[in-house]
Amino acid sequence: MNDSPGWASPGSAPSDGRPPENSGETGPTGRAPESTPSGSKWSKEQPPAGQWSAPSGTPQRSHAQTPPRQGRNGAPQGGWGARGPGGWGGPPPAAKPGVIPLRPLGLGDILDGSVSTARAHWRTVLGVTVVVAVLVQIADILLQKFVLPAPTPITADPETNPTEALRQSLDSMQDTMISTVPSLLIGMIGTLFTTALLTIVVSRSVLGRAVSLGDAWREAKPRLPHLLGLTLLLTLGALAIMTVGMLPGWLLGSAGGAALAALGALAAAVVVVWLWIRFSLASPALMLERQSIGQALRRSSKLVQGSWWRVFGIQLVTALLTAIVSMLIVMLFSTIALVTDGSGLDGLVKGDASEFSWAFLVIGGIGAVIASCITYPISAGVSVLLYIDQRIRREALDLDLARAAGLPGYDTEQSPDQTPGN
């Protein structure tokens, strides 16, 4: 049996003040203790159940647990000190005032908490995601239809003119990046608003409290400029790292330069992923702890330190799940759009959005909105719950959350309106 922090293991030492048998010491009466039958090392008189106390001098903060129920004689029922058919009972279950138990979380707990939040507060969650996703899709469709240029087609024969083929490939890649950046910026702004509002929703749902769209907006609105600055800083930093990695290859402009650019892009991508994980908890830290951009970055780095691979694994699994769900929905609606209007196939082949018909774009946009309404809450919920989990593991935040939720048996000095970041 594993020992939990703050609890003395039953039977680990005599608790009635008498020395252990065969130790050569005398008891309180001056006589040696009597031997028990069959050479047993246990004393005839055992302490009553439920009287094991925490070891002195160890002011550790154990994780929040549901206080044991009291029987009619005042003895606890269940948990440590409870005798059952199998002997000593296990530790009491963790308190769960909201969508997650107040203890260190696993991947299943985090994903379940994200889905439970969306189900428990579906009106608020849908109100946020539908409005943002529709606006993002409208702006993206208009940009692709009327503003962004079509990619440069590759017409050179690579066998006869490799230099010209390489040049056209680089030009096509440049056009693709130019057409992708505005869409990424629009998506980033949409993600900004959904992250800000859903962070408040998830933090309230952890305490088991309802929150309306108006409440979430009033609480998140003052932090939006800081969150925008943080998002731009991380995005521009990633673009700068990728540019520096690929720049030497671009300057050479030959076959060797292309290989060098690909190698530099790979190295830069590794650095970007490492920084992305290291600062992945900066957004919830900024929103819930009301810190500045620099303080939020340092806070995230501190929380992730020593747990980089675990955070990376959870974020990677979440990204894969949301990508698969989004891809399946988008493919379904794209197929419906192609069946409805076959002219959109030409645009797909050429990679030119201006060739798409309005029917194709509208049906595809509906699929993208549905996919966003499913994936946005999960991504935001995982980020916030992962932040809370790291604080539970490092700072015993679960005890503060139990007090903030007003659970019986905990100190209520803090305000019951406290959120996980305060």
**Which pLDDT score is estimated for 20?**
44
**Which pLDDT score is estimated for 59?**
43
Within a domain: 242:
yes
**Which pLDDT score is estimated for 282?**
95
Give me the mean pLDDT over the 45-56 stretch: 43
- Mean pLDDT score of the chain, rounded to an integer? 75
343 vs 18, residue with greater confidence: 343
Q: Reply yes or no on whether the pLDDT at 145 is more than 90.
A: no
Within a domain: 194:
yes
Q: Angle, nearest 10°, between helix axes 308-340 and 358-395?
A: 170
Q: Where is average pLDDT lowest: 105-114, 188-197, 254-263, 390-399?
A: 254-263
Q: Where is average pLDDT lowest: 20-34, 255-269, 279-293, 375-389?
A: 20-34
Within a domain: 11:
no
Q: How many CB atoms lie within 10 A of CB 245?
A: 22
Give me the mean pLDDT over the 189-197 stretch: 88
**Which pLDDT score is estimated for 90?**
56
Dihedral pair phi/psi, residue 307, rounded to 5°:
-130, 25
84-88, 276-280, 333-337, 395-399: which is most confident: 276-280
**Which pLDDT score is estimated for 38?**
44
Within a domain: 174:
yes
**Which pLDDT score is estimated for 158?**
52
User: What does pTM read for this prediction?
Assistant: 0.71
Structure tokens at 52: 């094991």
| Cα–Cα distance for residue pair 163/249, rounded to 1 Å | 14
With a CB cutoff of 8 Å and minimum separation 6, the contacts of 174 are none
**Which pLDDT score is estimated for 287?**
93
Within a domain: 36:
no
**Looking at this protein, which amino acid is placed at residue 37?**
P
**Alpha-helical runs (H) found in 57-121:** 107-120
| Cα–Cα distance for residue pair 372/205, rounded to 1 Å | 21
Give the structural domain span for 379. Answer: 115-404
Within a domain: 48:
no
User: Quick one: what percent of the chain has pLDDT higher than 90?
Assistant: 37
85 vs 311, residue with greater confidence: 311
Give me the mean pLDDT over the 4-30 stretch: 41
Give me the mean pLDDT over the 370-394 stretch: 93
Give me the mean pLDDT over the 126-138 stretch: 90
Give me the mean pLDDT over the 177-206 stretch: 84
Q: pLDDT band at residue 34, thresholds of 50, 70 and 90?
A: very low
User: Which residues sit opposite 94 in a β-bridge?
Assistant: 65
**Which pLDDT score is estimated for 312?**
96
User: How many domains does the chain divide into?
Assistant: 1
Give me the mean pLDDT over the 65-81 stretch: 48
With a CB cutoff of 8 Å and minimum separation 6, the contacts of 369 are 130, 133, 134, 137
| Cα–Cα distance for residue pair 266/223, rounded to 1 Å | 35
259 vs 65, residue with greater confidence: 259
Q: Reply yes or no on whether the pLDDT at 348 is more than 60.
A: no
Q: Reply yes or no on whether the pLDDT at 107 is more than 60.
A: yes
Within a domain: 4:
no
**Which pLDDT score is estimated for 385?**
95
Q: Where is average pLDDT lowest: 7-16, 225-234, 306-315, 347-356?
A: 7-16
| Cα–Cα distance for residue pair 413/116, rounded to 1 Å | 29
Within a domain: 206:
yes
